[in-house]
Amino acid sequence: MPGHRMISAHDCLLSGFMHIVADENIPSVEEAFCSLGEVSTCNGRQLSRADVGDADVLLVRSVTRVDEALLAGSPVRFVASATAGLNHVDLDYLARANIGFANAPGSNAISAAEYVIAAICYWARHEGRSLEGLTVGIIGLGNVGSRVRQRCERLGMRCLANDPPLAERGHAGLTTLEAVLDCDVVTCHVPLEVEGRYPTRQLLNRQALARLRPGALLINASRGEVVDEGALLRRMREQGDISVVLDVWEHEPAIDVEMLRHCLLGTAHIAGYSTDAKVRGTEMIYQACCRFFGKPPAWSMNDVDFPVARRDVELRVGGPEVCASVLDAYDIEADSRRLGRLLSDPKLEPAYWFDHLRKHYPIRREFTPELIE
């Protein structure tokens, strides 16, 4: 197939004759899945019906829309997304078509939480603020939000969280959205829900954004559509009294360069892109695929020889040296500078550059171990 890179049967000890089509940006995918069949990789954003015409397994990331238009008439029996989010997958269609499915919830939670910690440290240093005593409002207390809270509290910050679905299930210690929006730092970690009891599309609309206190920091590392970018841009242009860090954008990959111009930090949807997180996602969908087809796993994350060692940071209440250690372990400003080339090079096309940065993202190791409460 044009545009595909094949792993031959000679290179793998194939235990079956399945054809596995995978997004080329899933790390270690050939090494992991070659024990199950023949693997071919392709550009996930351009993946089409022709690419899955003889595929038994489809492995994607969030840039591929998986639905009847893509899979109808194909022999695909199992789909997996190496991501936590589900809004790019038509689960109802997969169920009707009797196609198995798995994703990787929590695989990038540590990475995304570390992104938020680095953003707060960068902002605190930029504004001359101390971490200790800051109030952090967390919208969504799932896999990522709960890890953000753990890390912020270890650094001496006081956290307030809003999560209506959790509150409905009896989770204690939650508060209102209004209380969260009144914090020094507000960070979003909700899925994109357009319908249902708790829709999140444009959850932070004009009225909600107006509640942000002057001097506050707003971070969005969930989904771009959660924030009304037009309303946010108006607030930043007219008042200029808040700092904004965006990793996700309303019209990805064709992002609004004017929005980027007003951000303290702007990155190309890479909060969860640590090398550890991506390989962890591969391991999770590989294990799920093995279970689905009744095959014993022959590969794990422990088989990966990471080219860069971890540089763990002890999270504790302290002075500016803590921020320095965090930013030394993860240079979030470097990621922002890369996307920021759109502001200085008018020849760069935003959608192309955004995808280029994601495809060629450098190695980034996680720097905090999993914390057990």
Residue 231 inside a domain? The answer is: yes
Same structural domain for residues 265 and 158?
A: yes
Q: Rounded to 5, what percent of the chain is helix, strand, coil?
A: 40, 15, 45
Residue 289 inside a domain? The answer is: no
Phi, psi of 188 (to 5 degrees): -100, 130
- Find out whether 15 and 34 touch, Cβ atoms under 8 Å: no
Same structural domain for residues 127 and 219?
A: yes
Number of domains in the chain: 2
Q: At 171, list the tokens.
A: 């989770």
Closest CA to 93 of 110, 64, 112, 72: 72
Beta strands at 217-220 and 243-246: parallel, antiparallel or unpaired: parallel
Same structural domain for residues 118 and 261?
A: yes
According to DSSP, residue 296 is labeled -
- Find out whether 242 and 227 touch, Cβ atoms under 8 Å: no
DSSP element (H, E) containing 147: helix 143-154
Beta strands at 57-60 and 100-102: parallel, antiparallel or unpaired: unpaired
> Which pTM does this prediction carry?
0.88
Give the structural domain span for 214.
Answer: 109-272+314-359
Residue 303 inside a domain? The answer is: no
Same structural domain for residues 121 and 221?
A: yes
DSSP element (H, E) containing 37: strand 37-42
Q: What is the CATH number of the domain that holds 151?
A: 3.40.50.720
Same structural domain for residues 86 and 132?
A: no
- Ordered DSSP codes for 166-233: HHHTT-SS---HHHHHTSSEEEE-----SSSSS--TTSB-HHHHHTSPTT-EEEE-S-GGGB-HHHHH
Residue 195 inside a domain? The answer is: yes
Boundary-marking domain end, from 103, 132, 156:
103
pLDDT tens for 98-122 read 999 999 999 999 999 999 999 999 9
Residue 370 inside a domain? The answer is: no
pLDDT tens for 66-91 read 999 999 999 999 999 999 878 899 99
Q: Which residues are catalytic?
A: 223, 252, 269
User: Would you write out the chain's pLDDT as a tens digit for each of its 373 residues?
Assistant: 333 344 343 344 444 579 999 999 899 999 999 989 999 999 999 999 999 999 999 999 988 999 999 999 999 999 999 998 788 999 999 999 999 999 999 999 999 999 999 999 999 999 999 999 999 999 999 999 999 999 999 999 999 999 999 999 999 999 999 999 999 999 999 999 998 899 999 999 999 999 999 999 999 999 999 999 999 999 999 999 999 999 999 999 999 999 999 999 999 999 999 999 999 999 999 999 999 999 999 999 999 999 899 889 999 997 779 999 999 999 999 999 999 999 999 999 999 999 999 989 999 999 998 765 5
Same structural domain for residues 11 and 42?
A: yes
- Find out whether 327 and 333 touch, Cβ atoms under 8 Å: yes
**Mean pLDDT (the chain, rounded):** 93
How far, in Å, CA of 298 to CA of 28, rounded? 13
How far, in Å, CA of 45 to CA of 360, rounded? 15
Same structural domain for residues 12 and 86?
A: yes
Residue 253 inside a domain? The answer is: yes
Boundary-marking domain end, from 71, 103, 135:
103
Same structural domain for residues 236 and 215?
A: yes
Same structural domain for residues 18 and 134?
A: no
DSSP element (H, E) containing 119: helix 109-127
How far, in Å, CA of 46 to CA of 57, rounded? 17
Q: At 311, list the tokens.
A: 């540089």
